[in-house]
């Protein structure tokens, strides 16, 4: 079996992961572009942890400008087997109040200005995303949340919008009518790319506000969001520490095949593949391309 390496991508308000032992900010070169920042690599309870601030330290990068491909490729190059996304979201459900951690299990992708695949002309691949999160990893995250007494809800649909503006009232109402639970700007195409890279993925959506639909809350108030962000940050750090203590040290095979997603996904015949694209895919798809 493969040694577990836990990756954590921190969203708004989470720009570092304290408590890591022997930690260092590490630059990772990627052929796909520039990752959001250096990756803080260290250990917790003997487990290798790779932490990346999604917006960069100081929150420099807007959602649409994040190089998601470079971020996921960097995680793959560091050996990450299990990736937990921690991100701020708005709630589309009354019962999912600010401070709740939603363990997302589905997404609706409404983004339109982002590169969404490592594959394309010269090497075409189609991975399954019917189940976009990895159940064993979500089990481990949920167990950690319970152990720390963190208010959470398992299951929910994340509506990924382009941003950077928050929703208009009509949009918020529309997404509620679709049955969506939370709304954010960053889990897509991140989850899609993690699947292409054969990394198990889980999303912890930290509710900061009620978006714009709630009659008692009105427009999103950025100052109120910042207050909740601080509370969520502390809980997220406790969650990761608890997860590091309990997650299996040997990565178990994913029951839905997240870690073998490329097994039969590449369609392009070997003699028709573009060598330049194959060179960029060395980390993401090396397992299947080297056979």
Q: Is 1 marked as a binding-site residue?
A: no
| Strands 106-109, 82-91: pairing kind | unpaired
Active site residue 209: yes
Q: Is 186 marked as a binding-site residue?
A: yes
Taking CA 278 as the corner, what is the angle to CA 117 and CA 125, rounded to the nearest 5 degrees?
40
What residues have CB less than 8 Å from 86, skipping those under 6 apart?
8, 9, 10, 11, 14, 204, 206, 236, 239, 240
Q: Is 185 marked as a binding-site residue?
A: yes
Instruction: Determine which one of 37, 82, 211, 259 is catalytic.
Output: 211
Q: Is 221 marked as a binding-site residue?
A: no
Q: Is 15 marked as a binding-site residue?
A: no
Cα torsion 7, 224, 59, 72: sign: positive
Instruction: Determine which one of 37, 73, 105, 209 is catalytic.
Output: 209
Q: Is 210 marked as a binding-site residue?
A: yes
Instruction: Provide Rg for the chain, Cα atoms.
Output: 18
Q: Is 87 marked as a binding-site residue?
A: yes
List the helix and strand counts (H, then E) for the chain: 7, 13
Q: Is 75 marked as a binding-site residue?
A: no
- Distance (Å, rounded) from C-alpha 245 to C-alpha 212? 38
Catalytic machinery residues? 209, 211
Binding residues for phosphate: 12, 54-55, 87-88, 186
The annotation places the binding site for substrate at: 185, 209-211
């Amino acid at each position: 079996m493969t040694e577990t390496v836990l990756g954590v991508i921190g969203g708004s308000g989470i720009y570092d992961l304290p408590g890591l032992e022997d930690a260092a900010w590490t630059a990772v070169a990627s052929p796909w572009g520039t990752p959001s920042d250096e990756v803080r690599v260290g250990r917790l309870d003997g487990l290798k942890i790779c932490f990346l601030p999604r917006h960069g330290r100081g929150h420099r990068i807007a959602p649409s400008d994040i190089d998601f491909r470079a971020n996921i490729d960097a995680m793959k190059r560091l050996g990450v087997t299990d990736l937990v996304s921690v991100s701020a979201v708005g709630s589309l459900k009354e019962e999912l109040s600010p401070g709740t951690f939603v363990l997302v299990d589905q997404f609706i992708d409404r983004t339109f200005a982002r590169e969404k695949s490592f594959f394309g002309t010269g090497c075409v691949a189609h991975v399954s995303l019917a189940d976009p999160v990895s159940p064993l990893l979500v089990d481990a995250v949920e167990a950690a949340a319970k152990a720390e007494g963190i208010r959470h809800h398992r299951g929910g649909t994340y509506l990924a919008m382009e941003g950077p503006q928050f929703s208009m009232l009509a949009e918020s109402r529309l997404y509620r009518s679709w049955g969506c639970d939370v709304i954010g700007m960053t889990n897509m195409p991140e989850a899609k790319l993690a699947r292409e890279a054969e990394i198990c993925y889980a999303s912890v959506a930290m509710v900061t506000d009620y978006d714009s639909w709630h009659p008692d809350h009105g427009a999103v108030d950025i100052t109120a969001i910042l207050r909740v962000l601080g509370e969520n940050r502390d809980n997220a750090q406790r969650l990761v520490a608890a997860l590091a203590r309990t997650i299996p040290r040997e990565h178990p095979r994913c029951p839905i095949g997240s870690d073998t997603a490329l097994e039969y996904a590449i369609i392009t015949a070997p003699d028709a593949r573009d060598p330049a694209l194959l060179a960029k895919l060395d980390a993401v798809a090396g397992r299947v391309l080297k056979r």
